[in-house]
Amino acid sequence: MKVLLVHAHPEPASFCTAMKDAAVDTLRRAGHEVTVSDLYEQRFNPVAGPDDFGSRRNPDYLVYSLEQRNGWQNGTIATDIACEAERVLESDLLILNFPIFWFSVPAIMKGWIDRVFLSGAFFGGKRIYDRAELTGKKALVTATLGGREHMFGTQAVHGEITGMLRHLLQGTLGYCGFQVLQPFFAFHVPYLSDAERQKWLDDYRNYLGEIETLPRLPMPSLDDYDDILRPLTQKPQPSLP
Amino acid sequence: MKVLLVHAHPEPASFCTAMKDAAVDTLRRAGHEVTVSDLYEQRFNPVAGPDDFGSRRNPDYLVYSLEQRNGWQNGTIATDIACEAERVLESDLLILNFPIFWFSVPAIMKGWIDRVFLSGAFFGGKRIYDRAELTGKKALVTATLGGREHMFGTQAVHGEITGMLRHLLQGTLGYCGFQVLQPFFAFHVPYLSDAERQKWLDDYRNYLGEIETLPRLPMPSLDDYDDILRPLTQKPQPSLP
């Protein structure tokens, strides 16, 4: 497989960065081709704005998604965006590796999504979920957090972690057609001993060893919706918990 | 009330920006004191990193939340962060006004949260939800989106919109102790006629007229959890749909 690993952590010696290195090593040993976008290292600009387009469909009024579509079609989109978008399009597996900040990705990675997940190239109009452009590709979220595992679950204080991340797992990755693999979370990370840290890294390497057979999260199918996306049946959407 | 309105949109003529202006006008007419943080206008830096701290507790290894706590206590945190944090601490109501990008806030606003929601000042350790520092304050999310209202709901293609935004409503605002008011969403915005746009703005002004009595979203209470946040009862957490 061609793998794009997108990584964002402000501390090069962090456990999260060690996970990135472990993933590169494990996947290359297994024969996969790995490209890394290290957003802090690249000083990636996360702010979507008018300068993202060399020429505009409407220079007087910015509708970002419409300019994305236009810029991608005409090759006038900013070079850093085009480069990252090509990397996604060329890959079979996208890994997002990050520390959970406020139950989501750090801003620099949110900006990578805002700017790179191009309307027109990744999805469009009613081409979403299983009709989107990226169907056939896989995506894996691998993240670190300070919280402990018992803080997540139906009766737990924060509820299910996949529910907290539904905007990312379903609303972003699933939306663009990715088959979203069961995420890998390392808990309580700032408080780990060296031995525990090593154990988590070993577990992570083993997890990646099963990359071809990891279970997928449930996602909506447009088969269940009409041409303006109204539900055809009364069954609840297969949402994440 | 003292109101802090945080706004982020790359297009000054956008409907979302018109909502910001309508909120400032409506709330001031009602006698409230309104401060605006316009993140695009301020060119707010959204990237959390080592430069956020004038001096470090640990100069060799960055754990962002621990340095936040240290920097806030010692007055060595970056000026732009301290200024925004003071604005939140002085306000009774925080309004986040933004276009929904990927079922979340735009990266520039995510970075405002990452950098300004300070461990130590806004929450800490087990001081979260109804034990956090910001209890007593209210928060309101007001957002625009391209999708239509029928795309959200239990059986709808994207599920419940409050579930998509759980990371923000519960995991960020509720987590810090805010009483989270029922959000206001303007749907299908890029496709509105001038008359429809005016109608939405009127509805929004009316909504803000009821600001004192808007319903609150359900949030967890630490009364239901033990000293390491394990559930005391078997009842499910009152999660958002």
For chain A, domains (ranges, CATH) are: 2-224 (3.40.50.360)
Is the CB of A225 less than 8 angstroms away from the CB of B11? no
- B78-96 confidence digits (pLDDT tens): 999 999 999 999 999 999 9
Which burial class, exposed, middle or buried, applies to A167 when counting CB atoms under 10 A from its CB (0-12, 13-18, 19+)? buried
Which segments within A86-193 are labelled E, that is strand?
93-99, 138-144, 179-180, 184-186
Is the CB of B231 less than 8 angstroms away from the CB of A156? yes
Is the CB of B47 less than 8 angstroms away from the CB of A151? no
Enter the tokens of residue B127.
């001081």
The per-residue pLDDT for B116 is: 98
Q: Residue B228: which residues within 8 A CB-CB, separation 6 or more?
A: A148, A150
- A62: chain B residues, CB-CB within 8 Å: 10-11, 14
* Closest CB to B171 among A62, A65, A103: A103
In the DSSP assignment, the letter for residue A188 is S
The per-residue pLDDT for A234 is: 74
Enter the tokens of residue A134.
């990226």
* Closest CB to B108 among A47, A156, A237: A47
* Closest CB to B158 among A171, A233, A236: A171
- B115-173 confidence digits (pLDDT tens): 999 999 999 989 999 999 999 999 999 999 999 999 999 889 999 999 999 999 999 99
Binning pLDDT at 50, 70 and 90, where does residue B233 land?
confident
List chain A pLDDT tens, one digit each, 241 residues: 999 999 999 999 999 999 999 999 999 999 999 999 999 999 999 999 999 999 999 999 999 999 999 999 999 999 999 999 999 999 999 999 999 999 999 999 999 999 999 999 999 989 999 999 999 999 999 999 999 999 999 889 999 999 999 999 999 999 999 999 999 999 999 999 999 999 999 999 999 999 999 999 999 999 999 999 999 987 766 656 5
- B105: chain A residues, CB-CB within 8 Å: 110
Burial A11-43 (b: 16+ CB within 10 A, else e): beebbbbbbbebbbebbeeeebebebbbbbebe
CA distance B184 to B204: 8
To the nearest whole angstrom, how far is the Cα of B31 from the nearest Cα of chain A? 33
- B40-72 confidence digits (pLDDT tens): 999 999 999 999 999 999 999 999 999 999 999
CA dist B238 → A156, A163, A237, B158 (Å): 10, 13, 20, 21
- B156: chain A residues, CB-CB within 8 Å: 229, 231, 237
Average confidence (pLDDT) over B93-100: 98
Q: What's the whole-number average pLDDT of chain B?
A: 95
Nearest to A172 by CA among A88, A90, A71, A235: A88
Unique residue bearing structure tokens 């939405």: B200
To the nearest whole angstrom, how far is the Cα of A23 from the nearest Cα of chain B? 22
For the complex shown, is ipTM > 0.85? yes
CA B41 to chain centre: 18
Q: What is the pTM of this model?
A: 0.97
Is the CB of A103 less than 8 angstroms away from the CB of B167? yes
Is the CB of A237 less than 8 angstroms away from the CB of B171? no
The per-residue pLDDT for B234 is: 74
CA dist B240 → A150, A237, B25, B107, B157 (Å): 19, 15, 31, 23, 17
The per-residue pLDDT for B235 is: 72
The per-residue pLDDT for B238 is: 62
- 3-state class of B3 per DSSP? strand
Which segments within B93-169 are labelled E, that is strand?
93-99, 138-144
- B57: chain A residues, CB-CB within 8 Å: none
CA dist B226 → A145, A157, A227, B116, B177 (Å): 20, 10, 49, 29, 18
* Closest CB to B155 among A46, A60, A235: A235
Average confidence (pLDDT) over B19-31: 98
CA dist A180 → A35, A93, A215, A218, B194 (Å): 19, 10, 9, 8, 40
Is the CB of A13 less than 8 angstroms away from the CB of B61? yes
The per-residue pLDDT for A111 is: 98
* Closest CB to B10 among A13, A64, A110: A64
β-strands A33-38, B93-99 pairing: unpaired
